[in-house]
Structures are given as C-alpha cells and as structure tokens.
Structure 1
Amino acid sequence: MNTSPVTKVLVIGYVWPEPRSSAASGHVMQILETFLEQGWNITVSSPAGPGEHKADLSALGIREVPIELNNSSFDAFISELAPGIVLFDQFMMEEQFGWRVEKHCPQALRVLETSDLQSLRFARQQRLKERLKDDPDNQDFTALFAPALREEFELMADSDLAKREIAALYRCDLNLMISQVEIQLLVEEFGLPGALLHWCPLMIDLPTAEPRTFAERAHFLSIGNFRHAPNWDAVLWMKTTIWPLIRAQLPQAQLHIYGAYTPPKATALHNPAQGFHVMNWAEDALQVMSAARVCLAPLRFGAGIKGKIVDAMLCATPSVTTPIGAEAMHGGLPWPGAISCSAEDFANNAVQLYRDEQRWEEARQAGQSLLSERYRKSVHGPALIDKLRDCLENLAQSRKSNFTGSMLRHHHHKSTQYMAQWIEAKNRNTLDKD
C-alpha cells in the first residue's frame, strides 16, 4: 500500500475530458487514473462548458470546479486549494492561468500535458495545403511525409503558434510528451533542455479477452473526432480517392466511419450505394473496432501519436496508415498492418490485408507485441509518478537551471497579468452600466 502523503493536484483543462471522443482526453484520463492510484486528491477545472460526451469525474472521486478566464475568482480558489501540482492540459491554459498559479501557489509544480505539438501539426497542415495547390492530381505524398527534423524546424520557427507553444514549454517545470519524435525535435532543433521533457505515451492495460478471428470480422473502419482537422482531411481523401480504388477491387466492401461531433458536411458524404457509411459517434469505440477487419487511418498531416491506432491494436485489428499516422508509434518494431505514402499503395495494402488471412494474422500479432513493448500502463504510470516526485524534490534547483523559462515567465506573466486585469475591469464596468 502506498503510504506517501496525499498530494493535491489541480488540472486546468482547455475542455472537460471526453475520453470517448478524442485520444487527447483519453490520455488525460489515463494520467488522472494514475494519480488516483497514488491516493492523490484531484480537482479538475476548465473555463469551457461541458461537452456532449463529458466524463463523469465525480463518480471517480474527482472534484469538478468550473473557472472563468480573466477573473480574479480563480485567485481565491487556487489559494484555498493550495495544490502541490498544477497540470495544464494544452499550452493555452498555461498562457491564461500560469501567472495566477505562480503568484498564488509559487511552490506548486507546474506541468504541461501537450498531447501533441500543435505548432508542428499546424505547420504540416500548411505544407499539405501548398502541396495540394501546386500538384492537386498527384496522389503520391512520399516527399511530403519525409522531411528531416531540420526541415520541420524551419517550417515551424517563424510561426507565432510555435513561439507561443514552445515558450509555454520553457515556462513549465515539466512537459509530458506523447511522441519521442517531438522530444527529439524540441531538443535537437529548438534547444529545449531534455530535463524539461518526459515521454508519457498512451498508457493501457494489455487485453486479456480472446479477440475475434479473421472470419468473424467484416468491413473497413475509420474513427476519429471530426473537430480534429487531420481526421476530416483523412475522410475527404478516402471519399475522393482511396475508397474508389478499394471498391474497384472489392465491389461489395463497406467502410464505416465513426466520429464525435459529426458536422453536416460529413453526413453529406454518406452513400450506402458506394459502401461509404458515415455512422456518427460510436457509443463504444472498442466494440465497433473489434468487429472490423481492417482499420483505415490515411492521415496526411498531424502530430503526436494516434489513439485510434492504439485502439485498433487493443482490438487486434490491423491498420493501414501513412508515415504521419505511424510516427513515433512503433520504434523499430514491425507495423501491425501497412504504412503507405500514396493513395494507390494505401488501397492495395488495405485490400491485401482484408483478403489475406495469413498476412492479417501476422499484423494482429505484431500489434499485440507493440502494445506490450511500448504502451503498458504498468510501466509508464510508475515512471510518471517517479518523475513528478523527483521534480518536486528538486524544484528550486531545476528552476535555477532553467533561466530561460524564468526569464520568459517574468516577461509573459507580467504582460498577461496586466491584460487580464484590464479585461476584468472592462467587463466589470460593462456589467455596472447594464
């Protein structure tokens, strides 16, 4: 039994966790569960309204406290709570609340949960747009998927988003990184100290149930939150190019597409005659994934690692994806399916996996090995706790060693504080006039 003193943790989320809607929220929930296993006292706050699929945190013993942007009520709240750890979910929350945390709880360990590098994802999206504009008919994206880290840096370095995001990483005491590729990019190209970064991928318990066999499965499946731009682009690429190539070889094939927050533009793509089914949100993503024979994830841009592919491995479902989809996910281990750079190669690999039971079985087994090697909660959970405790014990020295972060906090927090106070005063005057 853990006999360490209870630690108070405050999580400030950009949104309330929705683990059945996005991998990012799923990762947050895995972190919260790891904290609960330590007996820690957890409060989750967000300035956002509750989403359709919000997790019931109170049922887990987690306190839920809504907060407001640019409102000094947060100051009294955090002063009374006095957390030992404050975890910002997405860098924008550090931008908004970091100065208040430092002012009222200066000894709290400030941790940023990144999910992915948003500036990297945005830069890759811009690169795809330019590529499609210059050569719209070419469906081979090999060159797009093969930039060196230095090229990624040069693509990102001039953007305001990268400057904001990486400044937030410096200002925090520790940053949880889901992708080892992003760690390498930050250390080698942006010059961040490695001590500020901790690899914390998706953390799962290995499945124990016997999966469905090849013969017991049918159809292709794609899944992902429609609010996430890479997922919407993947759906469009499937609709216009990849799926017609698959149907040419498998005329009776069906593709089932699931995703939270399905917009009308996605529903409009639903076409049963073409075997293209837009199914909206899945109540149980693992259930529908377990029934599918092959998972399709044709991601042409993105960052982090892909929850849908981890779910596929959990369900013993082989996947076909791109180098973007596979990035940082398998180390040197075989991919549980196929990685393709062109629409034609993607479709051919999907058809072969769907038809060839032996190849399908080899891919399924590769997925089980990959889960065991890289994603076990029993490995990453204790590693995270050990890292947090080490940071707490050495907080004063690590902050002295991170002078750049201290300098950025000094300048950013002062300007943000004055702006927030001005906005609050302006809002107050508006209410008084009303």
Structure 2
Amino acid sequence: MNVMSSLLIIGFVWPEPNSSAAGGRMMQLISLFQEQDYKITFASPAQDSDFMVDLSQYEVEKVAIALNNSSFDEFIRELQPTVVLFDRFMMEEQFGWRVAENCPDALRILDTEDLHCLRLARQKAFKKKREFQISDLLTEEVAKREIASILRCDLSLMISEYEMELLTNVFKIDKSLLYYLPLLLESNALPDLEKLSSFEERKDFVFIGNFYHEPNWNAVQYLKEKIWPLIKKQMPEAVLNIYGAYPSQKVLQLNNVKEGFLIHGRAEKAQEVVQKARMVLAPLRFGAGIKGKLLEAMECGTPSVTTSIGAESMLGNFPWNGFVEDNPEFFAEKAVQLYQEKEIWLQAQKNGVAIMNQRYLRKLFEDDFAKQIAFLLSNIKQHRLNNFMGELLQHHTMKSTKYMSKWIEEKNK
C-alpha cells in the first residue's frame, strides 16, 4: 500500500463513541483505514459538541466545512483524497457531487449506519398502529433519496445482513455495491466469564440508549406503560436503571423511585453500569441496523431480553444471549425467569460469547475489507461502467443538486 494513500471522512456529526454505537462504529472505521496506512482527515459541517472525541489523539486531522459553499471545492481539490467516506446518505447528498466533480478518481464509500428508510417506514407503520409491510419501503420518501445515494457510491458499508437482503431483493441493488461490515470487537473485548461479577453479585435490570434516537425513547415509554408493571407484579422489589445520553425533560419526568423506575441520564462508563446489572431489557418496537447496546451487553456478560427488531441480524444461527419476545406478557415473564434462574442465566451468558466469537471479531473482517478497498481502487473504471444506474443518477444529481446548492450559496451572500 502506498504510504501516501489518504482518506477523507465527511461526518454527519463529530464522533461521540461514548454516546452512541454510531460514534464507536466511526472510530472502528478510522482504525481499519489506519491499519492500511491511510492518512485520515475528518471533516464535518456539524457544531462541536461537549462529548466529541479528540481526533488529534488518534492522529486524525479535524476540519470544519460549510454546507452549500464552494470553499469545500477548494479544500478537496487541494487534499485529493484516495478514498472519500460519507457518514450517512445525507452527507453524500450534500457533498457527493462536489467530490465527483473535483476528485473524479477518488473511491466513494457510503457508511449507511443503518437503513434510514427501513427505520422510518417501520416507525410510521407503528404510529399508524399497523404491521410494517415491505411494500412500505417503496413509498417511503427517504428510500428514494437513500437508494439513489447508495447507487451513486462505489461501495456501501452495511451492518445488517437483513438490510443487504432488502437492498438486493426489493431495490435490486447489485451485490458488488454492498459490503457487510458489522460493529467490530477486538479479541481482547471478549469477556472472561470467570472474572466478571457473578450471578449473585449482580442486581437490577438496566436499559441503556441515546435518547436522540426515537426507537430508544419509544422503548422506555413501552417499559414504563406496559412491561415494567408486569415485572413489578411478580417482583415487587425489582429496580430498573435507565441510562442514556441527551435525555429530554419528558424522559426525566418518567423517573419514579416508588416504582423502582429510575432515570439516570448519561452513563459516565456504560460498560461498568451494564456489568453490574443482572440483565438488560431492550423492548424495541421499531428501528433498523444492529444494536450496539445488545452487543455491549454480551461484552459485559449480561444476558438480555429483547424483541425480534432488537435481535434482527445479530445472532445468525446461534441461540440468543437471553430471550427474544414480542408479546409484552411473554417479555415480562422471560425477564423474570432469566433474572431468577441461575442456570438459564449462565447459559444465556455463554450464548452471548459464542455470538461475539463467530460474528463480530474484527479479525474475521479486517483483511477482507482491506482487499476489497484495494480491488476497487485498481478496478474503479470498470466497476463504474458496470453500475450504469449509478452513473446516470450521478449525472442528473450533479445538474440538479449542483445548481440548487449554487443558488443557496448566492442567496446566502
């Protein structure tokens, strides 16, 4: 690999690995490229945040960029990156045409995080109190934007096999444009179950999740209204500790000491909180991607009860790290059983380690990912010729988005 290879990441936000799985995911991608000797620049139009990571500590250059501003063109012309990574499709929409115009030879990669159109279509179906249908995706406004973005890029990184199937079967996206790269764990992240707190040493239930994320807020409401009262009926002494970054006033108002329903806000050290708990509850009713909170539970040797949306694409053919239940009565029943029965709890813990071992270890993916990037860089012309729909969309987007953006820029003057 030429030492001078460079990567430009265009971030939707500055990475906050302690606030969300998305922040952790971004740091993993940075590390994968650094291993291939890439010099990395991270650019974003986002405001700085109190909890963002100090990129300079990771030898990543931080650059603030502006939306709808030709200053970006000068910046990228000078940088001439080998690879450009868009963090979510909205960044590709804003900057993709500028990258294509000023650095036509740069490999363009989209990190989808999760399929936004799937999450939104499920959320809308849920709010309308009806079952989600696959056909909902075809009428979802965001799908038209997101799929166009996937087609315009040379490669899209997917964290969920289920979403890859949707893209190939429903939207007829060619497999050569998609690459499966889930959340990754270092080998030393696998827990030594002997050294972790024992069943007896742990207590209480825990829920953890960033409250900016609508599925998390909805899950906490569901716990409060439906599931927690059922658990309390069987276990009057039970306590549920709820942690999450960015809790709003409506989240904080749910705190009720008498009910053992405790809202704590941001966890200083999420892993410590999860390791002390006997169990994680994650009754997610809509969403997409794979769930960082459930992978973290496995890392902490903490069994979980979740829904089929929560466990989607996470377990492969392995038994879950606890139970998967969609019915609230069964969910509560399994939560109580897992909390009280040591043998079942210990088996759930082992199941979690097996899932991590077979599906999430970084060493299972890193070499193949490096080969994939190298292959695309050396075959970029042919790869794009094979993706005519992408080239067609690039052509039209360049015309429409380009002039819209220039109009906004003039207006802003």
Q: TM-score, normalised by structure 2?
A: 0.97
2:126 is aligned to: 128
For residue 267 of structure 1, report the CA deviation from its aligned partner: 0.3
For residue 211 of structure 1, report the CA deviation from its aligned partner: 1.8
1:176 is aligned to: 157
Greater Cα offset, 313-322 or 380-389? 380-389
For residue 51 of structure 1, report the CA deviation from its aligned partner: 2.2
Alignment of 1:163 with 2:144, yes or no, is yes
CA RMSD of aligned residues (A): 1.1
Q: Which amino acid aligns with 1:23?
A: A
1:141 is aligned to: none
CA distance in 2, matches of 1:53, 1:246: 35
1:193 is aligned to: 174
For residue 208 of structure 1, report the CA deviation from its aligned partner: 5.0
Instruction: String of CA shifts for 1:27-71, please: whole Å, max 9, x gaps.
Output: 111111111222210000110102231011111100000100001
Instruction: String of CA shifts for 1:288-347, please: whole Å, max 9, x gaps.
Output: 111110001100000000000000000010010000000000011101100001111110
Instruction: String of CA shifts for 1:355-410, please: whole Å, max 9, x gaps.
Output: 00000000000000000000001112222222111111110000000000000000
Alignment of 1:300 with 2:285, yes or no, is yes
| Partner SS state of residue 282, structure 1 | coil
Which ranges of structure 2 fall in alignment gaps of 5 or more residues? none
2:299 is aligned to: 314
Instruction: String of CA shifts for 1:132-178, please: whole Å, max 9, x gaps.
Output: xx7xxxxxxxxx4xx6xxx32x1110122100000000000000000
CA distance in 2, matches of 1:4, 1:346: 53
2:74 is aligned to: 76
Alignment of 1:390 with 2:375, yes or no, is yes
Alignment of 1:204 with 2:185, yes or no, is yes
Report if the CA contact (8 A) 2:191-2:301 is conserved: no
| Partner SS state of residue 101, structure 2 | helix
1:56 is aligned to: 54
1:360 is aligned to: 345
Report if the CA contact (8 A) 2:16-2:52 is conserved: yes
Question: Of the candidates 30, 33, 38, which is equivalent to residue 32 of structure 1?
Answer: 30
| Partner SS state of residue 295, structure 1 | strand
In the TM superposition, 1:268-307 aligns within 5 A as 268-307=253-292
Report if the CA contact (8 A) 2:308-2:325 is conserved: yes
In the TM superposition, 1:96-245 aligns within 5 A as 96-131=94-129, 144=131, 151-152=133-134, 154-206=135-187, 207-209=190-192, 210-245=195-230
1:376 is aligned to: 361
| Partner SS state of residue 5, structure 1 | coil
| Partner SS state of residue 106, structure 1 | coil
CA distance in 1, matches of 2:49, 2:213: 15
| Partner SS state of residue 211, structure 2 | coil
CA distance in 2, matches of 1:208, 1:181: 27
Alignment of 1:344 with 2:317, yes or no, is no
For residue 232 of structure 1, report the CA deviation from its aligned partner: 0.4
Report if the CA contact (8 A) 1:203-1:381 is conserved: no
1:6 is aligned to: 4
Report if the CA contact (8 A) 1:353-1:360 is conserved: yes
CA distance in 2, matches of 1:48, 1:314: 31
Report if the CA contact (8 A) 2:191-2:353 is conserved: no
| Partner SS state of residue 383, structure 1 | helix
CA distance in 1, matches of 2:207, 2:191: 24
Q: Which amino acid aligns with 1:298?
A: P
CA distance in 2, matches of 1:4, 1:357: 54
CA distance in 1, matches of 2:22, 2:98: 25
Question: Of the candidates 73, 93, 97, which is equivalent to residue 95 of structure 1?
Answer: 93
Which ranges of structure 1 fall in alignment gaps of 5 or more residues? 135-143, 429-434
CA distance in 2, matches of 1:16, 1:279: 24
Q: How many residues align?
A: 409
CA distance in 2, matches of 1:281, 1:20: 9
CA distance in 1, matches of 2:246, 2:197: 29
Report if the CA contact (8 A) 2:191-2:300 is conserved: no
CA distance in 1, matches of 2:118, 2:50: 28
CA distance in 2, matches of 1:384, 1:237: 39
For residue 88 of structure 1, report the CA deviation from its aligned partner: 0.2
| Partner SS state of residue 73, structure 2 | helix
Q: TM-score, normalised by structure 1?
A: 0.93
For residue 4 of structure 1, report the CA deviation from its aligned partner: 4.5
| Partner SS state of residue 258, structure 2 | helix
Report if the CA contact (8 A) 2:304-2:322 is conserved: yes
